[in-house]
Protein backbone atom coordinates (compact mmCIF):
# COMPACT_ATOMS: atom_id res chain seq x y z
CA UNK A 1 0.00 0.00 0.00
CA UNK A 2 1.33 3.42 -0.99
CA UNK A 3 -0.03 6.81 0.04
CA UNK A 4 1.23 10.23 0.94
CA UNK A 5 1.15 12.60 3.87
CA UNK A 6 1.49 16.35 4.24
CA UNK A 7 2.25 16.13 7.98
CA UNK A 8 5.11 13.69 8.35
CA UNK A 9 5.38 14.14 12.11
CA UNK A 10 2.22 12.20 12.90
CA UNK A 11 2.90 9.13 10.74
CA UNK A 12 6.63 9.02 11.43
CA UNK A 13 6.07 9.28 15.18
CA UNK A 14 3.60 6.39 15.04
CA UNK A 15 6.11 4.26 13.12
CA UNK A 16 9.04 5.12 15.38
CA UNK A 17 7.23 4.25 18.61
CA UNK A 18 7.63 0.51 18.04
CA UNK A 19 10.75 0.69 15.85
CA UNK A 20 13.52 -1.88 16.10
CA UNK A 21 15.64 -0.43 13.28
CA UNK A 22 15.67 3.03 11.71
CA UNK A 23 17.56 4.28 8.65
CA UNK A 24 17.58 8.01 7.90
CA UNK A 25 19.19 10.00 5.09
CA UNK A 26 18.48 13.73 5.26
CA UNK A 27 20.05 16.90 3.96
CA UNK A 28 19.27 18.89 7.10
CA UNK A 29 18.72 18.15 10.77
CA UNK A 30 18.46 20.54 13.72
CA UNK A 31 18.08 20.25 17.47
CA UNK A 32 14.29 20.23 17.31
CA UNK A 33 14.50 17.35 14.88
CA UNK A 34 16.84 15.46 17.17
CA UNK A 35 14.43 16.05 20.07
CA UNK A 36 11.65 14.55 17.93
CA UNK A 37 13.70 11.41 17.17
CA UNK A 38 14.73 11.01 20.80
CA UNK A 39 11.16 11.45 22.03
CA UNK A 40 9.57 8.90 19.70
CA UNK A 41 12.28 6.26 19.15
CA UNK A 42 12.82 3.51 21.74
CA UNK A 43 16.32 3.67 23.28
CA UNK A 44 16.89 0.04 22.25
CA UNK A 45 16.25 0.73 18.55
CA UNK A 46 19.18 0.71 16.14
CA UNK A 47 19.32 4.09 14.41
CA UNK A 48 21.61 4.91 11.48
CA UNK A 49 21.66 8.51 10.28
CA UNK A 50 23.42 9.94 7.22
CA UNK A 51 23.29 13.75 7.41
CA UNK A 52 24.54 16.47 5.09
CA UNK A 53 25.76 20.03 5.39
CA UNK A 54 24.95 21.31 1.90
CA UNK A 55 21.86 22.73 3.59
CA UNK A 56 22.44 24.68 6.84
CA UNK A 57 22.55 21.90 9.43
CA UNK A 58 23.40 23.78 12.66
CA UNK A 59 26.72 22.95 14.37
CA UNK A 60 24.79 22.44 17.62
CA UNK A 61 22.96 19.51 16.03
CA UNK A 62 26.21 17.97 14.80
CA UNK A 63 27.69 18.41 18.28
CA UNK A 64 24.82 16.40 19.75
CA UNK A 65 25.34 13.71 17.13
CA UNK A 66 28.96 13.37 18.29
CA UNK A 67 27.58 12.05 21.59
CA UNK A 68 25.59 9.27 19.96
CA UNK A 69 26.56 5.79 21.07
CA UNK A 70 25.55 2.32 19.93
CA UNK A 71 22.94 1.35 18.91
CA UNK A 72 22.80 4.85 17.37
CA UNK A 73 25.34 6.03 14.79
CA UNK A 74 25.63 9.10 12.60
CA UNK A 75 27.78 9.68 9.54
CA UNK A 76 28.39 12.67 7.29
CA UNK A 77 27.72 12.57 3.56
CA UNK A 78 31.05 12.98 1.82
CA UNK A 79 30.27 12.90 -1.89
CA UNK A 80 30.87 15.74 -4.35
CA UNK A 81 27.28 16.06 -5.55
CA UNK A 82 24.84 18.19 -3.57
CA UNK A 83 23.20 16.04 -0.90
CA UNK A 84 19.45 16.65 -0.78
CA UNK A 85 17.46 13.50 0.20
CA UNK A 86 14.76 13.15 2.84
CA UNK A 87 14.37 9.42 3.40
CA UNK A 88 13.17 7.58 6.51
CA UNK A 89 12.90 3.81 6.78
CA UNK A 90 11.50 2.05 9.86
CA UNK A 91 11.36 -1.65 10.71
CA UNK A 92 8.89 -2.90 13.29
CA UNK A 93 9.52 -6.64 13.73
CA UNK A 94 8.86 -7.98 10.20
CA UNK A 95 7.06 -4.87 8.96
CA UNK A 96 8.81 -2.15 6.97
CA UNK A 97 7.70 1.35 6.03
CA UNK A 98 9.54 4.06 4.10
CA UNK A 99 8.84 7.79 4.01
CA UNK A 100 10.31 9.59 1.01
CA UNK A 101 9.63 13.22 0.25
CA UNK A 102 10.58 16.82 0.91
CA UNK A 103 10.67 16.95 4.73
CA UNK A 104 13.93 17.30 6.65
CA UNK A 105 14.32 16.46 10.35
CA UNK A 106 13.33 19.93 11.53
CA UNK A 107 10.20 21.39 13.09
CA UNK A 108 9.46 23.02 9.76
CA UNK A 109 9.93 19.85 7.78
CA UNK A 110 8.01 17.64 10.16
CA UNK A 111 5.10 19.95 10.99
CA UNK A 112 5.05 23.53 9.79
CA UNK A 113 6.22 23.78 6.19
CA UNK A 114 4.35 22.87 3.04
CA UNK A 115 5.78 19.39 2.55
CA UNK A 116 4.78 16.16 0.83
CA UNK A 117 5.98 12.67 1.69
CA UNK A 118 5.22 9.38 -0.03
CA UNK A 119 4.54 6.45 2.31
CA UNK A 120 5.63 3.04 1.03
CA UNK A 121 4.65 -0.12 2.87
CA UNK A 122 5.50 -2.82 0.32
CA UNK A 123 8.22 -4.83 2.06
CA UNK A 124 10.04 -5.77 -1.15
CA UNK A 125 10.20 -2.17 -2.33
CA UNK A 126 11.46 -0.91 1.03
CA UNK A 127 14.15 -3.59 1.22
CA UNK A 128 15.18 -2.75 -2.34
CA UNK A 129 15.50 0.90 -1.36
CA UNK A 130 17.78 -0.01 1.52
CA UNK A 131 19.97 -2.42 -0.42
CA UNK A 132 20.33 -0.48 -3.66
CA UNK A 133 20.39 3.13 -2.43
CA UNK A 134 20.67 3.67 1.31
CA UNK A 135 23.35 1.14 2.31
CA UNK A 136 25.85 2.04 -0.48
CA UNK A 137 25.45 5.73 0.31
CA UNK A 138 25.87 5.17 4.04
CA UNK A 139 28.95 3.00 3.57
CA UNK A 140 30.60 5.86 1.70
CA UNK A 141 29.78 8.27 4.53
CA UNK A 142 32.47 10.01 6.56
CA UNK A 143 33.04 9.89 10.28
CA UNK A 144 31.67 12.86 12.16
CA UNK A 145 34.55 14.29 14.27
CA UNK A 146 35.02 17.19 16.72
CA UNK A 147 37.60 18.74 14.37
CA UNK A 148 35.14 18.80 11.48
CA UNK A 149 32.39 20.32 13.64
CA UNK A 150 34.76 23.04 14.87
CA UNK A 151 35.81 24.05 11.33
CA UNK A 152 32.27 23.75 10.03
CA UNK A 153 31.07 26.13 12.77
CA UNK A 154 33.20 28.91 11.29
CA UNK A 155 31.75 28.39 7.80
CA UNK A 156 28.26 28.16 9.23
CA UNK A 157 28.63 31.53 10.96
CA UNK A 158 29.55 33.14 7.62
CA UNK A 159 26.55 31.47 5.96
CA UNK A 160 24.15 32.72 8.65
CA UNK A 161 25.49 36.26 8.28
CA UNK A 162 24.28 36.51 4.67
CA UNK A 163 20.97 34.69 5.18
CA UNK A 164 18.88 37.83 5.98
CA UNK A 165 19.95 39.44 2.71
CA UNK A 166 19.14 36.25 0.80
CA UNK A 167 15.70 35.96 2.41
CA UNK A 168 14.97 39.59 1.56
CA UNK A 169 15.97 39.01 -2.05
CA UNK A 170 13.78 35.90 -2.28
CA UNK A 171 10.81 37.80 -0.81
CA UNK A 172 11.28 40.54 -3.41
CA UNK A 173 11.41 37.96 -6.20
CA UNK A 174 8.18 36.40 -4.94
CA UNK A 175 6.51 39.79 -5.13
CA UNK A 176 7.67 40.15 -8.73
CA UNK A 177 6.27 36.69 -9.52
CA UNK A 178 2.96 37.58 -7.87
CA UNK A 179 2.71 40.75 -9.94
CA UNK A 180 3.48 38.85 -13.13
CA UNK A 181 0.83 36.29 -12.24
CA UNK A 182 -1.76 38.99 -11.68
CA UNK A 183 -1.10 40.39 -15.16
CA UNK A 184 -0.85 37.00 -16.86
CA UNK A 185 -2.60 37.00 -20.20
CA UNK A 186 -5.01 34.17 -20.80
CA UNK A 187 -5.83 35.16 -24.36
CA UNK A 188 -7.59 32.33 -26.14
CA UNK A 189 -8.83 30.73 -22.92
CA UNK A 190 -12.52 30.31 -22.14
CA UNK A 191 -11.99 32.19 -18.88
CA UNK A 192 -9.59 35.15 -18.86
CA UNK A 193 -7.50 36.77 -16.15
CA UNK A 194 -10.37 39.11 -15.25
CA UNK A 195 -12.71 36.15 -14.74
CA UNK A 196 -10.39 34.44 -12.26
CA UNK A 197 -9.57 37.72 -10.52
CA UNK A 198 -13.26 38.23 -9.78
CA UNK A 199 -12.98 35.39 -7.26
CA UNK A 200 -9.71 36.43 -5.62
CA UNK A 201 -9.75 36.16 -1.82
CA UNK A 202 -9.89 39.94 -1.33
CA UNK A 203 -13.17 40.00 -3.30
CA UNK A 204 -14.97 37.11 -1.58
CA UNK A 205 -17.03 39.39 0.66
CA UNK A 206 -17.08 42.45 -1.57
CA UNK A 207 -20.61 43.67 -2.30
CA UNK A 208 -19.85 46.89 -4.17
CA UNK A 209 -21.03 47.54 -7.69
CA UNK A 210 -17.65 46.80 -9.27
CA UNK A 211 -17.29 43.39 -7.56
CA UNK A 212 -20.84 42.41 -8.44
CA UNK A 213 -20.34 43.42 -12.06
CA UNK A 214 -17.10 41.44 -12.33
CA UNK A 215 -18.72 38.29 -10.94
CA UNK A 216 -21.78 38.69 -13.16
CA UNK A 217 -19.52 38.79 -16.21
CA UNK A 218 -18.24 35.36 -15.20
CA UNK A 219 -21.78 34.16 -14.53
CA UNK A 220 -22.85 35.14 -18.03
CA UNK A 221 -19.84 33.30 -19.39
CA UNK A 222 -20.91 30.16 -17.53
CA UNK A 223 -24.41 30.46 -18.98
CA UNK A 224 -22.89 30.31 -22.46
CA UNK A 225 -20.99 27.18 -21.47
CA UNK A 226 -24.13 25.77 -19.86
CA UNK A 227 -26.09 26.11 -23.11
CA UNK A 228 -23.37 24.32 -25.08
CA UNK A 229 -23.22 21.52 -22.54
CA UNK A 230 -27.00 21.15 -22.45
CA UNK A 231 -27.07 20.49 -26.19
CA UNK A 232 -24.26 17.95 -25.94
CA UNK A 233 -25.85 16.15 -22.97
CA UNK A 234 -29.13 15.94 -24.86
CA UNK A 235 -27.37 14.53 -27.93
CA UNK A 236 -25.70 11.92 -25.74
CA UNK A 237 -29.11 11.07 -24.22
CA UNK A 238 -27.62 11.10 -20.76
CA UNK A 239 -29.99 11.13 -17.81
CA UNK A 240 -28.61 14.50 -16.70
CA UNK A 241 -30.65 17.66 -16.48
CA UNK A 242 -30.03 21.36 -15.87
CA UNK A 243 -31.73 23.13 -13.01
CA UNK A 244 -35.41 23.54 -13.90
CA UNK A 245 -35.19 27.23 -12.99
CA UNK A 246 -33.07 29.17 -15.48
CA UNK A 247 -31.96 31.65 -12.82
CA UNK A 248 -30.43 28.77 -10.80
CA UNK A 249 -28.60 27.00 -13.63
CA UNK A 250 -25.51 28.97 -12.63
CA UNK A 251 -24.79 29.82 -9.01
CA UNK A 252 -25.13 33.31 -7.55
CA UNK A 253 -22.73 36.12 -8.40
CA UNK A 254 -23.92 38.53 -5.71
CA UNK A 255 -24.57 38.18 -2.00
CA UNK A 256 -28.10 37.55 -0.81
CA UNK A 257 -30.41 35.06 0.88
CA UNK A 258 -29.00 31.54 0.74
CA UNK A 259 -25.59 32.73 -0.49
CA UNK A 260 -22.52 32.07 1.64
CA UNK A 261 -20.64 35.10 3.03
CA UNK A 262 -17.51 34.11 1.09
CA UNK A 263 -18.14 33.95 -2.66
CA UNK A 264 -15.09 31.81 -3.37
CA UNK A 265 -16.34 30.21 -6.58
CA UNK A 266 -19.08 30.06 -9.18
CA UNK A 267 -20.46 26.97 -10.93
CA UNK A 268 -23.00 25.34 -13.20
CA UNK A 269 -24.51 21.93 -12.53
CA UNK A 270 -26.51 19.06 -14.03
CA UNK A 271 -28.32 16.32 -12.11
CA UNK A 272 -31.79 14.92 -11.52
CA UNK A 273 -34.78 16.03 -13.59
CA UNK A 274 -37.56 18.19 -12.14
CA UNK A 275 -40.05 15.32 -12.30
CA UNK A 276 -37.71 13.01 -10.43
CA UNK A 277 -37.07 15.64 -7.76
CA UNK A 278 -40.73 16.44 -7.25
CA UNK A 279 -41.55 12.75 -6.96
CA UNK A 280 -39.22 12.70 -3.96
CA UNK A 281 -40.47 15.89 -2.38
CA UNK A 282 -42.41 18.78 -3.82
CA UNK A 283 -39.94 21.21 -2.24
CA UNK A 284 -36.82 19.34 -3.42
CA UNK A 285 -34.24 21.20 -5.54
CA UNK A 286 -31.11 19.96 -7.37
CA UNK A 287 -28.96 21.62 -4.71
CA UNK A 288 -29.87 18.87 -2.26
CA UNK A 289 -28.61 15.96 -4.37
CA UNK A 290 -25.59 14.55 -6.17
CA UNK A 291 -24.69 16.38 -9.37
CA UNK A 292 -21.99 17.01 -11.97
CA UNK A 293 -20.49 20.48 -12.04
CA UNK A 294 -18.10 22.88 -13.70
CA UNK A 295 -16.70 25.26 -11.10
CA UNK A 296 -14.34 28.23 -11.29
CA UNK A 297 -12.03 29.33 -8.45
CA UNK A 298 -9.38 32.02 -8.36
CA UNK A 299 -6.66 29.67 -9.59
CA UNK A 300 -8.45 26.81 -11.35
CA UNK A 301 -11.28 25.47 -13.46
CA UNK A 302 -12.60 22.12 -12.22
CA UNK A 303 -15.05 19.40 -13.17
CA UNK A 304 -16.79 17.75 -10.21
CA UNK A 305 -18.99 14.91 -9.20
CA UNK A 306 -20.21 16.48 -5.98
CA UNK A 307 -22.36 15.16 -3.19
CA UNK A 308 -23.98 17.69 -0.88
CA UNK A 309 -23.33 18.91 2.62
CA UNK A 310 -25.47 20.04 5.55
CA UNK A 311 -29.08 19.19 4.57
CA UNK A 312 -27.95 17.95 1.13
CA UNK A 313 -27.33 14.40 2.32
CA UNK A 314 -29.85 12.02 0.72
CA UNK A 315 -27.42 10.45 -1.78
CA UNK A 316 -24.53 10.72 0.66
CA UNK A 317 -26.26 8.82 3.43
CA UNK A 318 -27.39 6.17 0.96
CA UNK A 319 -23.83 5.86 -0.36
CA UNK A 320 -22.52 5.06 3.11
CA UNK A 321 -25.27 2.48 3.60
CA UNK A 322 -24.30 0.81 0.34
CA UNK A 323 -20.61 0.86 1.27
CA UNK A 324 -21.39 -1.67 4.00
CA UNK A 325 -21.75 -4.26 1.23
CA UNK A 326 -18.57 -5.85 -0.08
CA UNK A 327 -19.91 -6.09 -3.63
CA UNK A 328 -20.70 -2.37 -3.70
CA UNK A 329 -17.25 -1.51 -2.31
CA UNK A 330 -15.69 -3.44 -5.18
CA UNK A 331 -17.92 -1.67 -7.72
CA UNK A 332 -17.08 1.74 -6.31
CA UNK A 333 -13.36 0.95 -6.33
CA UNK A 334 -13.56 -0.18 -9.96
CA UNK A 335 -15.43 2.84 -11.34
CA UNK A 336 -13.39 5.32 -9.28
CA UNK A 337 -9.94 4.02 -10.19
CA UNK A 338 -10.89 3.90 -13.87
CA UNK A 339 -11.13 7.69 -13.90
CA UNK A 340 -7.37 8.02 -14.30
CA UNK A 341 -4.41 9.68 -12.62
CA UNK A 342 -5.64 13.29 -12.84
CA UNK A 343 -8.82 12.76 -10.83
CA UNK A 344 -8.85 13.17 -7.07
CA UNK A 345 -11.31 12.35 -4.31
CA UNK A 346 -11.84 14.50 -1.23
CA UNK A 347 -14.14 13.51 1.59
CA UNK A 348 -15.48 15.91 4.20
CA UNK A 349 -12.71 18.46 3.86
CA UNK A 350 -9.98 15.83 4.34
CA UNK A 351 -6.76 15.45 2.38
CA UNK A 352 -7.44 14.88 -1.35
CA UNK A 353 -6.04 11.69 -2.86
CA UNK A 354 -5.52 10.55 -6.42
CA UNK A 355 -8.14 7.98 -7.25
CA UNK A 356 -5.47 5.63 -8.64
CA UNK A 357 -3.55 5.61 -5.35
CA UNK A 358 -5.89 3.16 -3.67
CA UNK A 359 -4.53 -0.38 -3.80
CA UNK A 360 -7.86 -2.09 -3.27
CA UNK A 361 -11.49 -1.63 -2.29
CA UNK A 362 -10.69 -2.03 1.40
CA UNK A 363 -8.23 0.87 1.37
CA UNK A 364 -10.73 3.08 -0.46
CA UNK A 365 -13.48 2.13 2.00
CA UNK A 366 -11.22 3.04 4.92
CA UNK A 367 -10.60 6.45 3.34
CA UNK A 368 -14.29 7.34 2.89
CA UNK A 369 -15.53 5.77 6.13
CA UNK A 370 -14.66 8.71 8.45
CA UNK A 371 -16.81 11.03 6.32
CA UNK A 372 -19.21 13.02 8.48
CA UNK A 373 -22.36 13.69 6.50
CA UNK A 374 -22.81 17.45 6.54
CA UNK A 375 -20.48 20.39 7.01
CA UNK A 376 -18.09 19.64 4.15
CA UNK A 377 -18.51 18.43 0.60
CA UNK A 378 -17.76 14.96 -0.78
CA UNK A 379 -16.06 15.65 -4.13
CA UNK A 380 -14.49 13.73 -7.00
CA UNK A 381 -12.72 16.30 -9.16
CA UNK A 382 -10.45 17.05 -12.10
CA UNK A 383 -8.57 20.33 -11.70
CA UNK A 384 -7.19 22.48 -14.53
CA UNK A 385 -4.82 25.44 -14.36
CA UNK A 386 -6.17 28.66 -15.96
CA UNK A 387 -3.73 28.38 -18.87
CA UNK A 388 -4.26 24.66 -19.55
CA UNK A 389 -4.92 24.23 -23.28
CA UNK A 390 -7.75 21.84 -22.42
CA UNK A 391 -9.81 24.76 -21.04
CA UNK A 392 -9.39 27.13 -23.95
CA UNK A 393 -12.16 28.94 -25.78
CA UNK A 394 -12.46 26.10 -28.28
CA UNK A 395 -11.67 23.08 -26.11
CA UNK A 396 -13.41 23.60 -22.75
CA UNK A 397 -16.88 22.31 -23.75
CA UNK A 398 -15.39 19.09 -25.14
CA UNK A 399 -13.12 18.75 -22.09
CA UNK A 400 -16.09 18.98 -19.73
CA UNK A 401 -18.03 16.41 -21.72
CA UNK A 402 -15.07 14.02 -21.67
CA UNK A 403 -14.71 14.40 -17.91
CA UNK A 404 -18.43 14.02 -17.30
CA UNK A 405 -18.51 10.91 -19.46
CA UNK A 406 -15.88 9.44 -17.16
CA UNK A 407 -17.69 10.64 -14.04
CA UNK A 408 -21.12 9.47 -15.15
CA UNK A 409 -20.65 5.83 -13.97
CA UNK A 410 -19.57 7.18 -10.57
CA UNK A 411 -22.58 9.50 -10.48
CA UNK A 412 -24.98 6.67 -11.34
CA UNK A 413 -23.44 4.31 -8.80
CA UNK A 414 -23.53 6.82 -5.94
CA UNK A 415 -26.98 8.17 -6.76
CA UNK A 416 -29.86 6.86 -4.66
CA UNK A 417 -31.69 4.67 -7.18
CA UNK A 418 -34.64 3.71 -5.01
CA UNK A 419 -36.05 7.21 -5.38
CA UNK A 420 -36.80 6.61 -9.06
pLDDT in tens, the chain (420 residues): 458 898 899 899 999 999 999 999 999 999 999 999 999 999 999 999 999 999 999 999 999 999 999 999 999 998 889 999 999 999 999 999 999 999 999 988 998 888 999 999 999 999 999 999 999 999 999 999 999 999 999 988 888 888 777 777 777 766 666 555 544 568 899 999 999 999 999 999 999 999 999 999 999 999 999 999 999 999 999 999 999 999 999 999 999 888 889 999 999 999 999 998 888 777 777 777 899 999 999 999 999 999 876 545 788 888 989 999 999 999 999 999 999 989 999 987 778 889 998 889 999 999 998 876 556 789 999 999 999 999 999 999 999 999 999 999 999 999 987 554
Write down the pLDDT at residue 372. Answer: 67
Output the furthest CA–CA distance in the chain (Å, rounded).
Answer: 82
Describe the crossing of helices 59-66 and 31-40 by its angle, rounded to 10 degrees. Answer: 40
| CA gap 382, 406 in Å, rounded | 11
In the chain, where are the structural domains located?
A: 2-144, 193-419
User: In this predicted structure, what is the pLDDT of residue 420?
Assistant: 43
Please provide residue 344's backbone torsions phi and psi, each rounded to the nearest 5 degrees.
-130, 155
Whole-number pLDDT of residue 177: 61
pLDDT at residue 284, as a whole number: 76
Residue 312: the pLDDT is 53
Instruction: Give the H or E element holding residue 276.
Output: helix 274-280
What does CATH list as the number for 2-144? 3.30.870.10
Q: Which residues, 6+ apart, have CB-to-CB distance to 85 below 8 Å?
A: 25, 26, 27
Nearest 10 degrees: Cα torsion 347, 353, 359, 362: -10
Q: Which runs of E-coded beta strand occur in 229-335?
A: 241-242, 266-271, 291-296, 301-307
- Are 191 and 391 contacting, i.e. CB atoms less than 8 angstroms apart? yes
* Residue 217 β-bridge partners: none
Quick one: pLDDT at residue 310?
Answer: 54
Considering only CA atoms, which of 116, 129, 121, 134 is closest in space to residue 14? Answer: 121
Alpha carbon distance 30, 33 (integer Å): 5
- Output the CATH code of domain 193-419: 3.30.930.20
Q: Can you say how many angstroms the Cα of residue 229 is from the centroid of all Cα atoms in its chain?
A: 29
> Is 196 exposed, middle or buried (CB count within 10 Å of its CB: 0-12, 13-18, 19+)?
buried
Query: Tell me, what's the pLDDT at 1?
Result: 43
| DSSP at 258 | T
Nearest to 377 by CA among 407, 355, 344: 344
In the three-class reduction of DSSP (H, G, I as helix; E, B as strand; rest coil), residue 198 is classed as coil
Tell if the pTM clears 0.75, that is, is over it.
no
Residues 6+ away with beta carbon under 8 Å from 54: 27, 77, 82, 83, 84
Amino acid sequence: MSAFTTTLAEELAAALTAAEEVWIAVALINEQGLDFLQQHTPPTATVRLLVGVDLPTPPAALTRLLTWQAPRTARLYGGEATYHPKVYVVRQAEHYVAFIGSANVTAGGLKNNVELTAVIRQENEVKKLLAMWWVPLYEQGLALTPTFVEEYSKVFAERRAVEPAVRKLVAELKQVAAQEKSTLSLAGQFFTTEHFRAFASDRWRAQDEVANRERNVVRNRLYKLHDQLAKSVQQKKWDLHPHYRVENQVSAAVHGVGVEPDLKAIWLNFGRSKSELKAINEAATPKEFIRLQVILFEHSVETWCRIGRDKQVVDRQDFHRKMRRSDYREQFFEVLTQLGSEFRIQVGGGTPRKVIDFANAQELAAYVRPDEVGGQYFIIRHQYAPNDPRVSLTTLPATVMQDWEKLLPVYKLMKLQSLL
